[in-house]
Structure 1
Amino acid sequence: MSASIALQKDVSIAYLGPPGTFSHQAVYQRFGDSVVYVPQKQITDVFEAVEKGRATYGIVPYENSTFGSVVETLDYLIKANVKVRSETYLTVHQCLLSNSPLDKINKVYSHPQGLGQTQEWLSAHLPEARRISVKSTAQAAEQASQEIGAAAICSEICSELYGLDIVARDIEHGVANTTRFLIIGTSSDAPTGNDHTLLRFTVDHRQPGALCDGLKIFKDHGLNLFKIDSRPSGLRPWHYVFFLECSGHANSEKVQLAVKDLNQYCLDVAILGSFPNERTDGDC
């Protein structure tokens, strides 16, 4: 996708801002100075910027290797009118930033993912500090810079951007803490021969084995499954929307036949996009 963007003019990409977030780092790592970056206040705004034509593409965090799926992204994908067209990965190192010493910190701001990725360190070193969720890690840094006794969990680059001291580095739990991002647009790219497809569907919860029957279709068509998520639909209690990522491109015969068969067991089946597989063999 980076190569195709280089051929386009006036390309803008919406991301979860303000500057200094991991979304900002991920998109800059992928596209460099070839595009215009448009910061958004929250993840839902990134989707809306693409849907309403205020940005050519958007980048949203999808899952973290330590703390799992990003629920804000999944929740908007329930109703999103966009297509996934690419993915990218960023190794994430969390820092504790503050203008107060460690023993004077009584509150910690971060995005829920930041708090989740560092919960072991926080329990060991700041067990009494309040943990306060905000819309982004950079917003956390901005907030902490204005308060005595406040700290932020965010990237090291926020230290320079928001005038904070680095109290502790690499406080995330787990080796090679990595966040996966999806790049969204109004359409997906053509097949590459090594692609993944993201699907969304619901099932009739009163029908025994409906989900099992639906999943078996992918095995029958020789398609591998890489990720399955569920989120409340919001329509009624205990009704869920499922997200499934499989091998293959939506334009391939295998995926098209699988989707056709899936409609026999599942409801509201939708293809959310196909994209080149960026995982290494060791990640699969």
Structure 2
Amino acid sequence: MHFAQVVARLRLIGISRPRTSYSHQAAIECFDPNTHVFEPKTTIEDIFVAVEDRTVTYGVVPFENSTNGSVVFTLDLFCDRSSQYRSTRVCGEAYLDVHHCLLSPAKDLKSITKIYSHPQAFGQCETWLNANLKGVERVDVSSTSKAAQIAAGFEDAGAIASKIASDVKGLKILAENIEDSHDNTTRFFVLSATKRSGVSTGEWTVEEGGGKKKDKSLLSFTIDHKLPGALCDSLRVFKDFDLNLTSIVSRPTRVVKWNYIFFVEFEGHAETDNAKQALEELKRYCVDLRVLGSYVDKQGRKGSRYKES
């Protein structure tokens, strides 16, 4: 059998480039490497494009970190201000313990004059950096693995990356576990634009209404500022319909100054009766409302792969 025929029978998973990235590690937690092909992409946006174009079956993107908060690059793509990703939905989540190292060809920390990493990694290691490399120039790059590749080419450069990335030739570990919090965790979303038949609205098996697994749902909305108290009233809807909010963040609409797109996550599946009633009520206060997906709550279930419906 030709390689192309083999790949055609497997599921393609879009992940951040290169393969030693944290996104790759999260993807391995979700998908069996024997039945899925991991296809590296340069940026998070490239993953969204590939999912929307269906050149990959799924995409794995970072959404938030327990130490440094939301990944704004991902949030801005979910904003979809140009209506490029209308079919892309969240169909699963994964949690990954993240431990950073300082990698460098240099003999010691004193020899480092520049550090490369992803902005999220810098934010997660702020205390250690200020204590050990205060004043050293920091350079943002697209991924921690990319940072390791760049740093390997300069004797006075360092990179914040995973221990796995130390396999890059010329690098050695100068410091381990430099993250500010010992339980530093990143949550990843699994994306898909492929519709499935059946009662499940997502890619994964969903046990609704009394099932053994707890679901969560993500939606985005923009409120109508012409209505006094619209934001307050929109949030009260979730309480009125017995839906527990687990997260709320916002990003600028970039259409009207000081107007925001709100992202809300709640416990429960969007297709349950009380959720559907809540969303109908919520529309009274919103200019725009999108359900971005429902998925099984994987918090605290590290190591269990998704079961496709």
Give TM class, smaller chain: over 0.9
1:191 aligns with 2:206: yes
User: What's 2:103 paired with?
Assistant: 97
Root mean square deviation of aligned Cα: 1.4
Q: Is the 8 A contact 2:222 2:287 kept in 1?
A: yes
Which range moved further: 68-77 or 192-201?
Answer: 192-201
Deviation at 1:12, TM superposition (A): 0.5
Q: Which of 257, 268, 274 is the equivalent residue of 2:288?
A: 268
User: What's 1:35 paired with?
Assistant: 36
1:140 aligns with 2:141: no
Matches within 5 A, 1:98-247: 98-100=104-106, 101-186=108-193, 187=195, 188-189=202-203, 191-192=206-207, 193=211, 194-247=214-267
Q: Which amino acid aligns with 2:235?
A: L
- In 2, the alpha carbon distance for the partners of 1:206 and 1:236 equals 13
Q: Is the 8 A contact 1:106 1:128 kept in 2?
A: no
Unaligned runs of 5+ in 2: 1-7, 196-201, 302-309
TM-score by length of 2: 0.86
- In 2, the alpha carbon distance for the partners of 1:29 and 1:146 equals 31
Q: Is the 8 A contact 1:199 1:245 kept in 2?
A: yes
- In 2, the alpha carbon distance for the partners of 1:166 and 1:228 equals 37
User: What's 1:3 paired with?
Assistant: none
Q: 1:260 to 1:162 in 2, by over 3 A?
A: farther
Instruction: For residue 262 of structure 1, give the secondary structure of its aligned residue in structure 2.
Output: helix
- In 1, the alpha carbon distance for the partners of 2:229 and 2:132 equals 47
Q: Which amino acid aligns with 2:116?
A: Y
Instruction: For residue 93 of structure 2, give the secondary structure of its aligned residue in structure 1.
Output: strand
Deviations 1:139-198 (A, max 9, x none): 111110111211100100000134410010000001310000000001414532321010
Matches within 5 A, 1:35-114: 35-79=36-80, 80-81=85-86, 82-100=88-106, 101-114=108-121
Q: Which amino acid aligns with 2:160?
A: I
- In 2, the alpha carbon distance for the partners of 1:143 and 1:238 equals 38
Q: Is the 8 A contact 2:68 2:124 kept in 1?
A: yes
Q: Which amino acid aligns with 1:182?
A: F
Instruction: For residue 263 of structure 2, give the secondary structure of its aligned residue in structure 1.
Output: strand
Q: Is the 8 A contact 1:191 1:251 kept in 2?
A: no
- In 1, the alpha carbon distance for the partners of 2:175 and 2:227 equals 52
- In 1, the alpha carbon distance for the partners of 2:9 and 2:260 equals 41
Q: Which of 284, 290, 300 is the equivalent residue of 1:280?
A: 300
Deviation at 1:30, TM superposition (A): 2.2
Q: Is the 8 A contact 1:16 1:41 kept in 2?
A: yes
Instruction: For residue 168 of structure 2, give the secondary structure of its aligned residue in structure 1.
Output: helix
1:22 aligns with 2:22: yes
- In 1, the alpha carbon distance for the partners of 2:273 and 2:47 equals 32
Percentage of identical aligned residues: 44
Deviation at 1:130, TM superposition (A): 0.5
Instruction: Report the number of matched residues.
Output: 274
User: What's 1:12 paired with?
Assistant: 12
Deviations 1:221-256 (A, max 9, x none): 111000001001121321110000011112111111
Q: Is the 8 A contact 1:104 1:149 kept in 2?
A: yes
Q: Which amino acid aligns with 2:165?
A: C
Q: Is the 8 A contact 2:67 2:181 kept in 1?
A: yes
Q: Which of 270, 273, 276 is the equivalent residue of 1:256?
A: 276
Deviation at 1:31, TM superposition (A): 1.6
Q: Is the 8 A contact 1:75 1:231 kept in 2?
A: yes
- In 1, the alpha carbon distance for the partners of 2:91 and 2:244 equals 19
- In 2, the alpha carbon distance for the partners of 1:244 and 1:23 equals 23
Q: Which amino acid aligns with 1:191?
A: V
- In 2, the alpha carbon distance for the partners of 1:205 and 1:162 equals 56
- In 2, the alpha carbon distance for the partners of 1:199 and 1:64 equals 19
Unaligned runs of 5+ in 1: 1-7
TM-score by length of 1: 0.93
- In 2, the alpha carbon distance for the partners of 1:234 and 1:9 equals 42
Which range moved further: 30-39 or 42-51?
Answer: 30-39
Q: Is the 8 A contact 1:117 1:172 kept in 2?
A: yes
- In 1, the alpha carbon distance for the partners of 2:234 and 2:169 equals 49
